[in-house]
Structure formats: C-alpha cells, structure tokens
C-alpha cells in the first residue's frame, strides 16, 4: 500500500458510504497530552481528544478521527479571521481530521466549524486558498455527520470566495472531485 493510493483513492475519491462511522463513547486513545511543571509541581493530563471516528470499509487499516481542537480553549476564544466576518456568527473553531494507517498518523487536515457550527470548511491558507484534498475531506466529514442543510462546505467556501487549488504535497489528491 502506498500513501498516494490512500490519499487519492481511499480518501479524496470516496464518499461517506465507503466509511463506517463508529457511534461509540469512551476513549479513543488519540489524545493531546500536556505535561510540565507548575506552581504545584509536575503535572500531566489529557488536554483534548477526537470525539468522532470512522473506519474505511474496504481496508480497516485506514481509520480517521476528527474533532480535536487545534488550540486550547483560551486561544480559541481569541481567534478572529477577516473572512469569517461574512457570516452571522464570526466565531471560528479549528479542529483536526487525522487519518491513521494501522494506528500510525499518516495525514492531517485542519477544518473549521464556522457560522455558529452551521458549516465546516478547510481552514483557508494565505490568499483564501484551500486545496482540493482539504475540500474533499471537509465534504467527507460533512457527509459522515449526516448534515443535509444548505451549509455544505462548497456553499461556505463560495461565500468567502475561497480559491480551490491543486494540492502539490499530496500530488493533486481531490482534484477530480466535483463539489
């Protein structure tokens, strides 16, 4: 198995039907851990974890988890982006979508909950660019979550006039997907 096949065929070119979403509670063992020394001495605790998980039906070696916040709670409250002013609620909540092969992290995409949680889009880069692969992942998460409203990723990316670009690092994964 190679990364090209995983990124192109298994992730970017598949719909939610190719995935089995786990509706389970409890730990996933994919944590963000914080440790150090504070005024009361050494500390160590789980800071955040993914709350959503799915398994690729054709090859269960590929799994995905999403929902872990990119920033801690205090930093998240301070985030402001000019592009988010286009929405009624301009709060932006970045989170990670992680892809694992045999439980080893092989790819990560940063998405954002926007407009009061009504939308999910890739986090725009400089010049409001998002890659085709990142958009494909946003659509996959949107579909896996069973959303059926007008708040699909393409709709919100059009509102902010995001530019969809070829993903050079992933050798064009997602470029053939139509939104």
pLDDT in tens, 137-147: 999 999 999 87
Q: Is 64 in contact with 19 (CB distance < 8 Å)? A: yes
Mean pLDDT of all residues belonging to the chain: 89
Distance of CA 67 to the CA centre of its chain: 7
* Confidence band, pLDDT 50/70/90 cuts, at residue 51: confident
Q: Is 158 in contact with 179 (CB distance < 8 Å)? A: no
* Confidence band, pLDDT 50/70/90 cuts, at residue 4: very high
* Confidence band, pLDDT 50/70/90 cuts, at residue 179: very low
Would you list the DSSP string of 44-103? EEEEEE--EEEEESS-TTEEEEEEEESS-HHHHHH---GGGGGSSS---EEEEEEEEETT
The candidate with the shortest Cα–Cα distance to 141, out of 47, 24, 11, is 11
The answer for residues whose C-beta is within 8 angstroms of residue 4's C-beta and 6 or more apart is 171, 173
- Give the model's pLDDT for residue 33: 61
- Give the model's pLDDT for residue 74: 67
Over residues 83-88, the mean pLDDT reads 92
Whether the model pTM is above 0.85: yes
């Amino acid at each position: 198995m190679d990364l090209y096949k995983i990124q192109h065929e298994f992730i970017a070119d598949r719909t939610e039907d190719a995935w089995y979403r786990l509706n389970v509670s409890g730990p996933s063992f994919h944590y963000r851990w914080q440790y150090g020394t504070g005024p009361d001495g050494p500390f160590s605790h789980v800071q955040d974890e993914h709350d959503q998980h799915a398994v690729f039906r054709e090859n269960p070696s590929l799994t995905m988890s999403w929902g872990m916040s990119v920033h801690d709670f205090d930093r998240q409250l301070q985030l402001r982006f000019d592009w988010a002013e286009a929405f009624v609620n301009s709060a932006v909540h970045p989170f990670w979508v992680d892809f694992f092969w045999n439980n080893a992290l092989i790819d990560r995409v940063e998405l954002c909950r926007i407009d009061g949680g009504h939308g999910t889009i890739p986090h725009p880069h400089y010049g409001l660019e998002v890659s085709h692969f990142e958009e494909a992942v946003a659509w996959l998460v949107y579909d896996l979550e069973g959303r059926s409203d007008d708040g699909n990723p393409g709709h919100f990316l059009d509102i902010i006039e995001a530019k969809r670009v070829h993903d050079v690092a992933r050798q064009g994964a997602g470029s053939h997907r139509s939104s």
